[in-house]
Amino acid sequence: MLKFFRKILVYSLVILVCFEAALWILGYRPYSTIDYKVFTNPPNAYQGDSALGLRLNPGEYIITLNDHIEFTAHHLDNGQRNVGPHAQTDELRPNIHFYGCSYTYGYGVNDNESFVSLTQEHFNSNAVANHAVIGYGTVQSLLQLRDENISPNDLVLLVLSSQHLIRNTLAPEYRSSLKIGFENSSEKLEKNMRGAHFPFMASCDKSIEFLAWEEVYENWPLRELSSTINFLQTTADKINGNEENQILVTECLLDEMFKICKIRNASFAVICLDNDEKTSKIAQNLPHIPWIDINFDFTSNEYTNTPFDQHPNEEGHELIAETIIPFIDKLLK
């Protein structure tokens, strides 16, 4: 019996060594993080939040990404980013509310260069509000909308990205990039995340749930040393992602935002930045929601901060603004 177990152990070790070698030959490697540095002056531009995961700390900040991209961001006392003066705002005209993630927030460009600020500049008789925060998905936007004082005839715009789908269900693939990415971007940011809880919706028949920051994600033992363990955990994350459920949950979130606006006699529409098969399916299943696809290329050297960061640069925001302004104008009329 002892010899039998020794043979099993030896054969198992041989198989594992061969599998590890095969993965290396095929290009697989142990897990390694991608360096992404975020420096803010003063510190703590972003703070963990007990219900939304993250929030903006009020103040004016100079933010540097990967030692190359520098921009100034002014966070207002109401948790929004500054979009510029409302010099000619007419109180009788509807407000325009933007909800979204870092793309809408304007990560990588100054306050007056984001497509939200350019929208305010164009519609200078309407007050424009930028509710977007880095890392947000549609689930955070819904929670924000529930608490926001939306007036009759206001226009609510959800800026959707294909990346939001994995955020809405807190799919393992997103949990990995969220937890490990944040931990490696800034030591101070990690400390500011204590007490944070990230909202998600597991399925349409369940209420929004909240996951503590400390429980978001953890690498399996030896993942950073073994390509085999890294391969297995990466594969497990993708399998457990359940893309079909991500689509259904996002549809439910968008439809609830639409219903909230309808009850408040406000308008609701979706601006989809980087449409794919999944977002196209969502649009088809929600024909009652006005929708525009931007088809923005996040791999473009001309319109993003590549190679230091893939968020839209100033030219990219101008391109998005030029596309959405006629759409917004039509909705307002």
> What would the pLDDT profile of 268-325 be if each residue is shown by its tens digit?
999 999 989 999 999 999 999 999 999 999 999 999 998 888 899 999 999 999 999 9
Domain boundaries, given as residue ranges, for the chain: 38-332
- Torsion angles phi and psi, residue 98, rounded to 5: -100, 130
Q: 91 falls in which pLDDT band (50, 70, 90)?
A: low
Q: What is the pTM of this model?
A: 0.88
Convert the pLDDT of each residue in 206-265 to its tens digit.
999 999 988 887 777 877 777 887 777 777 777 776 889 999 999 999 999 999 999 999
Q: Indicate the DSSP class of residue 148.
A: S
325: exposed, middle or buried (Cβ count in 10 Å: 0-12, 13-18, 19+): middle
Higher-pLDDT residue of 259 and 174 is 259
What's the CATH number of domain 38-332, 3.30.360.10, 3.40.50.1110, 3.10.450.50, 3.40.50.300? 3.40.50.1110
In the chain the first and final C-alpha atoms are separated, in Å, by: 83
Q: What is the pLDDT of residue 243?
A: 86
- Confirm if 79 and 97 have CB atoms less than 8 A apart: no
Measured CA to CA, the distance from residue 24 to residue 187 in angstroms comes to: 32
Cβ partners under 8 Å of residue 284, min gap 6: none
| Pick from 275, 224, 282: nearest CA to 250 | 282
- The enclosing H or E element of 326 equals helix 314-332
Cα 259 from Cα 265, distance rounded (Å): 10
| 34-81 per-position pLDDT tens digit | 667 888 899 889 999 999 999 999 999 999 988 889 999 999 999 999
| pLDDT score of 187 | 60
